[in-house]
């Protein structure tokens, strides 16, 4: 009996010795490298005889706490012996990286995947700016920041230029696309991500207060055209060559692409001195003057999506309908028309202000301009207040004006403000941020002007800025803003010739 039991025990021990060892893989602690990358490490602790490693590497992810084959980093390939191996990856600021090692082994023509234990690495390293381009730029332009430990969530990267916060348009853990803010100045760039921050090692140079040449209107030079802006595109319509002819073509200028595109012609007759404005994503052109001084009362609406002009109801308020040389503005989602020249037993200058109702497609009387009849004025809107001034008080050859007024539509009240520093008519204006700009026009003694003036409503002050390019005076231009940049186009120069220029102003 004892012999029988001994034989059973011996047989059992022999069976135990025949149980095969399996490969053992251990994921180790990750480390941050000097280059900002995360170094992952693992060790093949045991590779029994007969096993061959045909591939190995790491699985890693910042959100999946149990990384799988879908989270595979680059394969490291085959290896012949047990060893320590590593790979590197990169993650954003304040992110967790969940990772594990893996290896694919073969034995007896069968493959199997061995997974290591899951580890977690938390990136507590601060962001670092390694470079930025361009080194010299201007407001409202784009700059690329390159570095490490950025957040891939744009809003988590707080980028400032000398304390002025910028808009981060796109973000990855190694680069940021940033729009330079309006009030930025030259100096260092700072990035803050939660409680970590960094500052660039060199200054960015931000240019201010200058004009640049852009591609001119790809059509006949002209003056007294009209313009409106929808989004980041401006539309220039009509205009004339004095004593030669008028136009009704529509040109679209794309401020992002810096490109002109021909669009559908304005319906109706060729014209100049019309009002133009944009409202609810649609453009409007109305009234104006045609051949032989004939004034119009028709109104047209432009849809930029369909590229179609549609005739609306005519301007008709009281007995006088047609007019030219009026000025328009949009405030509180309503369009207004002020002043202009009309015929009523003779040529006269209007002091009336009219408001347009889009629902009824009708104009109605709103108020009167406090300085009397006026044509060829400038107008711009800041913080739901309208600023109007300059212009001509006489239908023929009158002296230009410098008076300047603030109009509040909600209370229908006017307040006199600081005069424009020099009288003018046929000037143009645009708004950048919370400041208005008045440029060029015709001054006293029919002198054409080349100056640019900046108006600040908060302080009621005017400051002179950079003259037009090459100090060349211009009048009867169109003016508009796209983003934080001002533009002027077309117009007439001192030698009485028309122009097709397009200039951009950087404040």
In angstroms, the first-to-last Cα distance of the chain is: 107
Band (pLDDT 50/70/90 cuts) for residue 16 is very low
Q: Is 444 helix (H, G, I), strand (E, B) or coil?
A: helix
Mean pLDDT along residues 297-317 = 96
Mean pLDDT along residues 304-333 = 93
Q: What pLDDT is stored for residue 8 in this prediction?
A: 46
pLDDT digits (tens, 9 = 90+) for 284-299: 999 999 999 999 999 9
Q: Are 405 and 390 spatial neighbours (Cβ–Cβ below 8 Å)?
A: no
Q: What pLDDT is stored for residue 21 in this prediction?
A: 82
128-206 in CATH: which number?
2.60.40.10
Looking at domain 210-506, what is its CATH homologous superfamily? Kelch-type beta propeller (2.120.10.80)
Q: Which of 2-16, 170-184, 461-475 is least confident? A: 2-16
Residue carrying the six token digits 């059509």: 219
pLDDT digits (tens, 9 = 90+) for 77-106: 999 888 999 999 988 888 899 999 999 999
Percent of the chain with pLDDT over 70: 96
Tell me what the pLDDT averaged over the chain comes to. 92
Q: What stretch(es) of the chain map to CATH 2.60.40.10?
A: 128-206
22-122 in CATH: which number?
2.60.40.2060
Which of these, 95, 97, 173, lies nearest to 128 by C-alpha position?
A: 173
d(CA 72, CA 60) in angstroms, rounded, equals 6
Q: What pLDDT is stored for residue 279 in this prediction?
A: 97
pLDDT digits (tens, 9 = 90+) for 204-225: 999 999 999 999 999 999 999 9
Mean pLDDT along residues 2-23 = 52
Q: Are 169 and 142 spatial neighbours (Cβ–Cβ below 8 Å)?
A: yes
Q: What stretch(es) of the chain map to CATH 2.60.40.2060?
A: 22-122
Which tokens belong to 174?
A: 């190694």
pLDDT surpasses 80 at 384: yes
Q: Are 26 and 55 spatial neighbours (Cβ–Cβ below 8 Å)?
A: no
pLDDT surpasses 60 at 9: no
Decide which of 255 and 345 is more confident: 255
pTM attached to this predicted model: 0.77
Q: What pLDDT is stored for residue 311 in this prediction?
A: 98
Q: What stretch(es) of the chain map to CATH 2.120.10.80?
A: 210-506
């Amino acid at each position: 009996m004892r012999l029988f039991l001994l034989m059973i025990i011996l047989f059992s021990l022999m069976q135990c010795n025949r149980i095969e060892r399996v490969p053992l893989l251990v994921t180790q602690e990750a480390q941050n490298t000097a280059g900002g990358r995360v170094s992952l490490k693992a060790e093949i602790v045991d590779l029994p005889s007969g096993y061959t490693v045909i591939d190995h590497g790491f699985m890693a992810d910042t959100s999946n706490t149990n990384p799988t084959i879908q989270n595979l980093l680059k394969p490291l390939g085959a290896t012949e012996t047990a060893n320590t191996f590593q790979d590197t990856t990169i993650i954003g600021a304040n992110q967790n990286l969940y990772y594990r090692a893996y290896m694919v082994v073969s034995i007896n023509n069968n493959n199997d995947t061995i997974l290591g234990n899951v580890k977690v690495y938390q990136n507590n390293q601060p962001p670092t700016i390694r470079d930025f381009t361009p080194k010299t730029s201007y407001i409202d332009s784009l700059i690329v920041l390159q570095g490490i430990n950025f957040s891939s969530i744009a809003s988590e990267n707080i980028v400032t230029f000398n304390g002025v916060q910028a808009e981060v348009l796109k973000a990855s853990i190694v680069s940021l696309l940033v729009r330079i803010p309006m009030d930025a100045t030259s100096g260092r760039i700072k990035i803050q991500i939660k409680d970590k921050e960094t500052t660039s090692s060199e200054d960015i140079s931000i240019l201010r207060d200058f004009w640049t040449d852009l591609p001119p209107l790809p059509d006949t030079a002209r003056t007294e055209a009209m313009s409106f802006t929808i989004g980041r595109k401006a539309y220039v319509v009509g205009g004339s060559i004095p004593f030669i002819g008028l136009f009704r073509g529509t040109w679209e200028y794309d401020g992002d692409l810096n490109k002109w595109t021909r669009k559908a012609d304005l319906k109706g007759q060729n014209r100049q001195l019309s009002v133009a404005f944009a409202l609810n994503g649609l453009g409007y052109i109305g009234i104006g003057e045609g051949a032989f001084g004939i004034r119009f009362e028709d109104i047209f609406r432009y849809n930029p999506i369909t590229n179609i002009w549609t005739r609306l109801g005519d301007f008709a308020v009281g007995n006088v309908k047609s007019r030219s040389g009026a000025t328009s503005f949009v405030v509180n989602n309503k369009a207004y028309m002020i002043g202009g020249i009309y015929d009523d037993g003779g040529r006269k200058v209007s002091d009336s202000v009219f408001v347009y109702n889009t629902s009824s497609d009708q104009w109605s009387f709103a108020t009167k301009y406090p300085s009397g009849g006026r044509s060829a004025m400038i107008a711009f809107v800041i913080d739901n207040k309208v600023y109007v001034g300059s212009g001509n008080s006489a239908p023929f050859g009158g002296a230009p004006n410098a008076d300047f007024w603030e109009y509040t539509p909600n209370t229908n009240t006017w307040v006199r403000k600081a005069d424009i520093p020099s009288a003018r008519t046929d000037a143009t204006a645009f708004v950048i941020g919370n400041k208005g700009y008045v440029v060029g026009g015709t001054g006293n003694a029919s002198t054409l002007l080349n100056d640019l003036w900046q108006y600040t409503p908060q302080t009621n002050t005017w400051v002179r800025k950079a003259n037009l390019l090459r100090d060349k005076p211009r009048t009867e231009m169109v003016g508009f803003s796209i983003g934080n940049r001002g533009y002027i186009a077309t117009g007439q120069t001192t030698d009485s010739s028309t122009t097709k220029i397009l200039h951009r102003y950087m404040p």
